[in-house]
Structure 1
Amino acid sequence: MTHPLPSTSRSLPIALIRAREGVMAPIREMLSETGITEQQWRVLRVLAEHGSLDTSTLADRASLLFPSLTRIATTLRNKGLITQTRDEVDRRRQLIEITEAGQKIIDDRADQAAQIVADFRAALGDDNYETLLDLLAQLDPGSSN
């Protein structure tokens, strides 16, 4: 027996895509004058938060496929926003670190980024905001929740 599909207005994949667009719109606006993409911003944010990381860990924490990170890292390195070095012990392992110029992009937009978060928290309420993050983590196969 075939089960009817839910209405597209109640489809989780479609709802997530719509929500992503709503969340990303103010971030795209914030980044519009920087010359960096959303993905590049994520890489810089992760590096600013965690310090030097190997490429596999960085790709995972920035939610990027490894080939995409390779391309993004090349662009960020060419812009002087990150450095890439070989691990002293395991020469196959690449370490990526944010530069002062990359950190300046994060620092210059920290207040604006924090306001974007505050606006979402205000729209949802603190409890709903935290609950939403917890529920989304349950759908993440790489999450420890």
Structure 2
Amino acid sequence: MLLLRAREKMMERFRPLITAHGLTEQQWRVIRALNEHGPMEPRHISDICTISSPSMAGVLARMESMDLVTKERFAEDQRRVLVSLTDTSLELVRVISRDLEAHYRELERKVGPEIVERVYRAVDDLLAGLEEGEEE
């Protein structure tokens, strides 16, 4: 419950910025993942964005119709698809990232950069510990 409350408090700060640009949280996560990692197959996007595969199919279909992503089939295996950002999405990244940085700076001013750093470190450690447990 504590992690869910923390996530929701953070999203209260960032959600209006994302929705002001006509995006859902899931769409923004997909755009961020593709911007950071480059073109990927839907299953990799699902893993990074923590969106189920069935939901991802719908998210990507809507994003394609909004000219936010393109899908290209692999020549050697027509069942596989590579998803890429469009110029529209790259422009959204540029605009939204600038505003997000201002929100992050405000957050650091409010709670202090040392607390933000400790939270990042603690969450990284938590995820690393949980992922180690999955590998066993």
Smaller-chain TM-score bracket:
0.7 to 0.9
Residue number in structure 1 paired with 2:33? 46
Residue number in structure 1 paired with 2:44? 57
Normalised TM-score (structure 1): 0.80
**Per-residue deviation at 1:117?**
2.9
Corresponding residue SS for 2:20: coil
Residue number in structure 2 paired with 1:132? 122
May I ask how many residue pairs the two structures share in their alignment?
131
Question: Structure 1 residues 110, 127: CA separation in 2 closer, same or farther (over 3 Å shift)?
Answer: closer
Residue number in structure 2 paired with 1:81? 68
Q: Is the 8 A contact 1:121 1:129 kept in 2?
A: no
Structure 1 vs Structure 2 CA RMSD: 2.1
**Per-residue deviation at 1:51?**
1.3
Please give the alpha-carbon distance, in whole angstroms, between the structure 2 residues aligned to 1:136 and 1:112: 28
Q: Is the 8 A contact 1:82 1:97 kept in 2?
A: yes
Normalised TM-score (structure 2): 0.85
Amino acid at match of 1:72: V
Structure 1 unmatched runs, 5+: 1-13
**Per-residue deviation at 1:30?**
0.7
- Structure 1 runs, 4 residues or longer, greater than 4 Å off: none
Structure 2 unmatched runs, 5+: none
Residue number in structure 1 paired with 2:53? 66
Please give the alpha-carbon distance, in whole angstroms, between the structure 2 residues aligned to 1:121 and 1:129: 12
